Structure 1
Amino acid sequence: MGVRDNRQVVGRLLESMIPVRMINFPQKIAGELYGPLMLVFTMVAILLHGMKSSGTVIIEGTLMGTAIGTCFGYWLGVSSLIYFIAYLCNAQITMLQTLSLLGYGLFGHCVVLLVTYNIHFHSLFYVFWLCIGGLSTLRMVAVLLSRTVGQTQRLILCGSIAALHMLFLLYLHFAYHKVIEGILDSFESQNLVPPFQRVARDLSDGAEVIVNATSGNLLSPR
């Protein structure tokens, strides 16, 4: 990308934190995915940084794969859901515009997570969650309001994206690490437990058998 394009992306990042005031006519949405893709990969890097700073060890790429799946899953999955709801509510928005709108909306999440992963104060997180996360959410809500007609349709569409976007940030801060640690612990426990164990038993003829270590079932005589 050229210098001009990079400046446009930076401008759109800043605009994603500024809610629009005019909702009487459809607001413009950038129809490009370069910025959103970079933000999704940035969020992946921030999640990895947060796990490494907490002392979590990467095992066979599990941590990286989970971070990529979480970020891309949210971006693509929620964008598809919002587009489906927008279609039902007759909102004037395309799938590409939905991906771009939600992708740029992740800029606030990246800022909040980057700061709160390095400064561990819950009160600071709630301030950033309400202010920065709230601003990026209000931006998306205002854009969707300008492209939707009808009070009920607006309430359904804007309420859905606001709830999902704000709750996702709460999940990343409070629950994501615990979920990943639980997955890694399950992998470690599976690697530590041997699938079979040889156990010698005294039979009437003095034969040795192999017994399943988990179920205790007789496998084969020796």
Structure 2
Amino acid sequence: MTFSLIARCPRTGQIGAAVTTSSIAVGSRCAFAAAGVGAVLTQHRTDPRLGPRGLDLLRSGCTAEETVAALSASTPHAGWRQLAVLDAAGRTAHVHGAQVKPERNAAHGEGVVAIGNILSSDQVPAAMVAGFLAAANQPLAERLLRALEAGEAAGGEHGEVTSASLLVMWRESFPYVDLRADKAAQPLAALRALWTEYAPLAEGFVARALAPDDAPVI
């Protein structure tokens, strides 16, 4: 009961992910990304070990398609896994294991892939990609959030979502954005409020790490 996407901004090189589901703490389990490397989504009967493993494969030079194939071949429970991968060049790939429950689907666009399971409609991933692509002039975090909102507007999952997360990696090893709403009555609205507050502060938090003598007071 999850819908999510990963994407790359061709203008800045930022790589990010956004995900929402009916269970708690989705941000700690499903989305993994690294600056200059790519991103991995692992969901349904989620195995968080596949995220770091997928990033290691991308670092070794594997494409998105090669990474998905290797992850599927190396896990003994591949039938329960739903995976998506984005590489540093913006190429995307996905796989639905045979035991991933319907409605399930995926949609791809330039530099973006969306996946979902136990959805109200198999058109939810396509709506997410359309929402992402329609906001091409916006920062990556905003585009990812709009995609989640478009997925929810298209019917979302088969049930109420209670947690959501937004992750963006940029030039550093630490996240540029890492926001999470857990056990919220309206997690996407809560995530939207967090992003609205955080957006003007993001550069300041990076400055605090890189140049603390001149960093702004936040």
**Larger-Rg structure:** 1
Shared fold (TM-score, shorter chain, > 0.5): no
Greater helix proportion: 1
- The structure with the largest strand share of the pair is 2
Give me the TM-score of the superposition, normalised by structure 2.
Answer: 0.30
